[in-house]
Amino acid sequence: MQFLFDRNTWQEIFGSISKNKTRTVITVIGVLWGIFIYIALSGAAKGMDNGFESMFETIAKNSMFVWAQSTSMPYEGYKTGRQMQLKLGDATMIENRIPQVEYIAPRNVMGFFGSPPATIGRKNKTGSYTLFGDFPQFTKIAPKKIYDGGRFINDEDIDQARKVAVIGERTQKELFDKDEDPIGGFIKIDEVYFQVVGVHKFEQSGGFGGDGDIFIPFSTFKKLYNTGDNVGWFSIAAYDDADVIKVEENIKNLLKNIHHVHPADDRAFGSFNLGEQFNKIVGFADGITFLSLVVGIATILAGVIGIGNILLISVKERTKELGVRRALGATPAEVRNQIILESVFLTVIAGIMGIIIGAMTLAMIDSFTQDIEFPYTNPTVPIPYVLGALVIMVVLGTLIGLIPAQRAVSIKPIDALREE
Amino acid sequence: MIEIKDLHKSYKMGTNTLHVLKGLNFTIAEGELVAIMGSSGSGKSTLLNILGMLDELDEGSYTLDGVPIKNLNETKAANYRNKFLGFVFQSFNLINYKNAMENVALPLYYQKVPRKEREERALKYLTQVGLKEWATHLPNELSGGQKQRVAIARAMAAEPKVLLADEPTGALDSTTSYEVMDLIQKINDDGNTILIVTHEEDIAHMCKRIVQLKDGIIVEDKFVEQVRASQYV
Ligand SMILES: Nc1ncnc2c1ncn2[C@@H]1O[C@H](COP(=O)(O)OP(=O)(O)OP(=O)(O)O)[C@@H](O)[C@H]1O
Ligand SMILES: [Mg+2]
């Protein structure tokens, strides 16, 4: 092992490598390409993974929406085509009967699903905005960032049907002056005064919503628009370990039961299962990560085998040279070590170059996708992966170098010298 | 310096064996300059290769500087070659991607001589063969005679006990051959033991002793009056 730390060894290897430039370049490109593919692919996969993750940051991963439609089957004396309506009581039933449900938030809206938006006014300014009637637990399902000094709707707001509102960034900009503190200020929602208690920061998320949205307590919404116990839709989050598809099915079956709908009627209630979509996407991202790992490792392998091959050819070409070296006193071990070290050295140099170029490519892609709406953030390759790749390369480089090295010493010096 | 007794060597070629050396005996003292002559296929190279530990003898004994040479593994043979022997080949066998100085320094590398000293000694021997100015030139920038002089410098750099040269002038014209022989004679004048395989009568007579091989036996072994090559240069 001492030869490894001998400057002379490295001078000899460096000499032989740098003087056989074409050979060196060709071999290096093989491995460089492999490690580059590996780094670029797994980094890109990681970036997509991160991108999807951040897309779901604003909403619980195992959440779903359930809304009412109309029946498609007659049942218990009811005709087909009956318009269904979700009620506040349904939420209590769901919470009580389906233990996998962690949070359920009944919601109503003006400005969506055919209803006109609310007209909001302040002093001499007016505008149309989407208005939600919400419970506090809605933020457990879809966390809202509220600017300092403000808050979201709380339980007392609900109990007392307070006239308070959480407004969006855009609403603030459009209704309030630049240096004016909106908290505590009043706005008119469809001719009724509301006090602003918070401003929410808008974040692009998987669901619908915008930077102008206004939230008021569910109970206040109910009074304002005479919606009674009617609920537009439920936002529901299941526990992390729950099977979201099963939960969705249970909820709909329960609703059918409550509302006297034929158990086989799939039209009466609609739903969108974010959890299911999320699992699909995660599966997709995992698949890509795995694929890039397989492709990357296969390419590295191919590159290293390429190095072995070229070294094998070069050992044949250099038969005479190696014969001369042995006539001059090189021992078989010295010849063997030189070939193996050449192999490892080339592999590692190529590998490091591949890692650098791969990282640069990733950084470039990152800066290109910075501004566009594509789920791609922070494409990094975990350090252990990189180190692992380097270790694999050293090991493979050694192993593959063994073949030409053995070939080089298996021929007797006298025969090597006779070679033309 | 060199002593061989009843040396036999045969090559197996399929079913038949070719008996190349059929019992050779001679002793070469330190400081001798010996020419080995004989027709093509008479076994000159075979003998030289055995003396150079590049090949093994079948029967008989070989003693080099009092050390019996037998049952060598490759590593041991390499070490002996490195310490005791210098080789000069007909086709020079310089390493084409190393310059003249690096070629000369190569045996010193295998002697684990530090680089600085390696280069100094290489330069010293290049100066001796008159090629100091060519130190940084690659072999393909040198003439045949210059290449052979670099090869001789390389063989001498390790300061071997014996210099073995297989047709060192075989690829050179006569003027260049005499230059190379002049160099070899000077090295011999310094007390080095040298064996030269040659076809050429005039080259052989520039040595001090001629061993004639024929069909694997020594038919003649005589000391001669040395012709100095310098008079032709
Ligand atoms: N490795 C080998 N295998 C088989 N036969 C060999 C081998 N080396 C040499 N020979 C044979 O041994 C005989 C002697 O060969 P050698 O090379 O010693 O002759 P030489 O005297 O040097 O001839 P030349 O003057 O042509 O160089 C030849 O007939 C040759 O064919
Ligand atoms: Mg010969």
* H or E segment to which residue A159 belongs: helix A155-159
Of B54, B111, B112, the CB nearest to A327: B54
Quote the pLDDT of residue A384.
80
Cα–Cα distance between A194 and A298 in angstroms, integer?
Answer: 64
- Contact between B93 and A417 using a beta-carbon 8 Å cutoff: yes
Min Cα–Cα distance to chain B from A409, Å: 9
Q: How many CB pairs under 8 A join A and B?
A: 68
Answer yes or no: is pLDDT of A418 > 90: no
B154 is written with which tokens? 């390389």
Nearest bound ligand to the CA of residue B50: 1
Chain A partners of B74 at a C-beta cutoff of 8 Å? 331-332, 409
What is the per-residue DSSP string for A326-368?
HHTT--HHHHHHHHHHHHHHHHHHHHHHHHHHHHHHHHHHHHH
A270 is written with which tokens? 């609609």
At A413, the pLDDT band (50, 70, 90 cuts) reads confident
Of B54, B75, B110, the CB nearest to A414: B54
Is residue B38 in contact with ligand 1, taking CB distance under 6 Å? yes
Cα–Cα distance between A128 and A342 in angstroms, integer?
Answer: 73
Look up tokens 């996708």; give the residue: A369
**How confident is the model over A207-233, as a mean pLDDT?**
88
**Ligand 1: centre distance to CA B21 (Å):** 10
Answer yes or no: is pLDDT of B181 > 60: yes
| Amino acid at the residue A92 | T
Domain of residue B70 covers 2-232
Answer yes or no: is pLDDT of A339 > 60: yes
Nearest CA to B32 out of B72, B54, B3 is that of B3
Contact A130, A111 (CB under 8 A): yes
Give how far Cα B118 sits from Cα of A11, A92, B149, B183, Å.
Answer: 13, 92, 18, 22
Contact A282, A52 (CB under 8 A): yes
Nearest bound ligand to the CA of residue B165: 2
Q: Where are the alpha helices (DSSP H) in chain B?
A: 44-51, 74-84, 100-110, 115-128, 144-157, 174-189, 201-204
Residue from B46, B54, B55 to probe ligand 1 pocket by mutation (most atoms less than 8 Å from CB): B46
Give how far Cα B139 sits from Cα of A47, B99, B136, B151, Å.
Answer: 54, 6, 10, 10
Atom of ligand 1 nearest to the CA of B55: 1
Quote the pLDDT of residue B72.
83
**Ligand 1: centre distance to CA B46 (Å):** 6
Judging by beta carbons within 10 Å of its beta carbon (0-12, 13-18, 19+), is residue B29 exposed, middle or buried?
Answer: exposed
Q: Where are the alpha helices (DSSP H) in A56-117?
A: 88-97
Is residue B216 in contact with ligand 1, taking CB distance under 6 Å? no
Q: Within 10 A of A313 (CB to CB), how many other CB atoms are there?
A: 12
Min Cα–Cα distance to chain B from A322, Å: 9
**Ligand 2: centre distance to CA A417 (Å):** 12
At A194, the pLDDT band (50, 70, 90 cuts) reads very high
Task: Please name every residue paired with B196 in a beta bridge, in sequence order, or none if there are none.
Answer: B35, B165
Atom of ligand 1 nearest to the CA of B42: 21
Share of chain A above pLDDT 70, in %: 92
**How confident is the model over B200-215, as a mean pLDDT?**
94
Look at chain B and report how many structural domains it folds into.
1
Min Cα–Cα distance to chain B from A331, Å: 5
pLDDT digits (tens, 9 = 90+) for A23-41: 778 778 877 888 888 888 7
Cα–Cα distance between A396 and B80 in angstroms, integer?
Answer: 35
Contact B68, B61 (CB under 8 A): yes
Cα–Cα distance between A228 and A59 in angstroms, integer?
Answer: 28
- Contact between A329 and B158 using a beta-carbon 8 Å cutoff: yes
Range among A46-60, A145-159, A361-375, A391-405 rated most confident: A145-159
pLDDT digits (tens, 9 = 90+) for B34-65: 999 999 989 999 999 999 999 889 999 999 98
Q: Does B54 touch chain A (CB under 8 A)?
A: yes
Is residue B44 in contact with ligand 1, taking CB distance under 6 Å? yes
Cα–Cα distance between A257 and A236 in angstroms, integer?
Answer: 19
Q: Where are the alpha helices (DSSP H) in B31-143?
A: 44-51, 74-84, 100-110, 115-128
Q: Within 10 A of B124 (CB to CB), how many other CB atoms are there?
A: 14
CA dihedral (B60, B66, B71, B77) in degrees, to 10, reads -120
Answer yes or no: is pLDDT of A120 > 60: yes
Answer yes or no: is pLDDT of A206 > 50: no
| pTM, entire model | 0.68
Looking at chain B, how many residues does it have?
233
The contacts of residue A10 (CB under 8 Å, 6+ apart) are none
Cα–Cα distance between A167 and A332 in angstroms, integer?
Answer: 81
Q: For position B89, which CATH number holds?
A: 3.40.50.300
The contacts of residue A396 (CB under 8 Å, 6+ apart) are A300, A301, A304, A347
- The more confidently predicted of residues A387 and A237 is A237
Of A334, A412, A417, the CB nearest to B110: A334
Nearest CA to A65 out of A214, A255, A260, A224 is that of A255
Report ipTM (2 d.p.): 0.91
Nearest bound ligand to the CA of residue B18: 1
Min Cα–Cα distance to chain A from B224, Å: 31
Is residue B15 in contact with ligand 1, taking CB distance under 6 Å? no
Quote the pLDDT of residue A300.
79
Cα–Cα distance between B64 and B164 in angstroms, integer?
Answer: 13
Orientation angle between helical segments A319-327 and A332-368, nearest 10 degrees: 130
Mean model confidence pLDDT for chain A: 85
pLDDT digits (tens, 9 = 90+) for B95-122: 988 899 999 999 999 988 888 899 999 9
Q: How many helices (H) and strands (E) does chain B have?
A: 7, 10
**What is the residue extent of each domain of chain A?**
2-56+280-417, 70-100+239-267, 101-237
Contact B232, B203 (CB under 8 A): no
Strands (E), A212-306: 214-217, 230-231, 233-238, 269-273
Of A11, A328, A333, the CB nearest to B107: A328
Cα–Cα distance between A30 and A350 in angstroms, integer?
Answer: 8
Is residue B40 in contact with ligand 1, taking CB distance under 6 Å? yes
Stretch among A46-55, A213-222, B26-35 having the lowest mean pLDDT: A46-55
Q: Which of B11, B48, B73, B81 to mutate to test the interface with A (most CBs of A within 10 A)?
A: B81
| Amino acid at the residue B77 | A
Cα–Cα distance between A16 and A127 in angstroms, integer?
Answer: 78
A98 is written with which tokens? 């389906």
DSSP state at residue A258: H
- Contact between B93 and A7 using a beta-carbon 8 Å cutoff: no
**How confident is the model over A376-387, as a mean pLDDT?**
73
Residue from B9, B45, B54, B195 to probe ligand 1 pocket by mutation (most atoms less than 8 Å from CB): B45
Min Cα–Cα distance to chain A from B35, Å: 21
Give the residue on A whose Cα is nearest the Cα of B46.
A414
- Contact between B54 and A332 using a beta-carbon 8 Å cutoff: no
The contacts of residue A22 (CB under 8 Å, 6+ apart) are none
Is residue B11 in contact with ligand 1, taking CB distance under 6 Å? yes
**Ligand 1: centre distance to CA B42 (Å):** 7
What is the per-residue DSSP string for A28-60?
HHHHHHHHHHHHHHHHHHHHHHHHHHHHTTTS-
Nearest CA to B85 out of B32, B43, B48 is that of B48
Q: Within 10 A of A266 (CB to CB), how many other CB atoms are there?
A: 14
B122 is written with which tokens? 């290489």
**Ligand 2: centre distance to CA B174 (Å):** 19
pLDDT digits (tens, 9 = 90+) for B69-96: 988 888 999 999 998 999 999 899 999 8
Answer yes or no: is pLDDT of B147 > 50: yes
Backbone angles phi, psi at A103, to 5 degrees: -135, 145
Nearest CA to A48 out of A361, A287, A384 is that of A287
Quote the pLDDT of residue B141.
95
Stretch among A302-306, A401-405, B169-173 having the lowest mean pLDDT: A302-306
Contact A376, A46 (CB under 8 A): no
Min Cα–Cα distance to chain A from B108, Å: 9
Cα–Cα distance between B138 and B171 in angstroms, integer?
Answer: 19
A340 is written with which tokens? 């193996």
Cα–Cα distance between A289 and B44 in angstroms, integer?
Answer: 67
Query: Atom 5 of ligand 1 has which residue's CA nearest to it?
Result: B11
Stretch among A166-180, A215-229, B190-204, B208-222 having the lowest mean pLDDT: A166-180
| Amino acid at the residue A337 | N
pLDDT digits (tens, 9 = 90+) for A47-95: 777 777 776 666 777 889 999 999 999 998 899 999 999 999 999 999 9
Helix (H, G, I), strand (E, B) or coil at A109: strand
Quote the pLDDT of residue B36.
96
Orientation angle between helical segments B174-189 and B144-157, nearest 10 degrees: 20
B101 is written with which tokens? 């100085």
Backbone angles phi, psi at A331, to 5 degrees: -80, 160
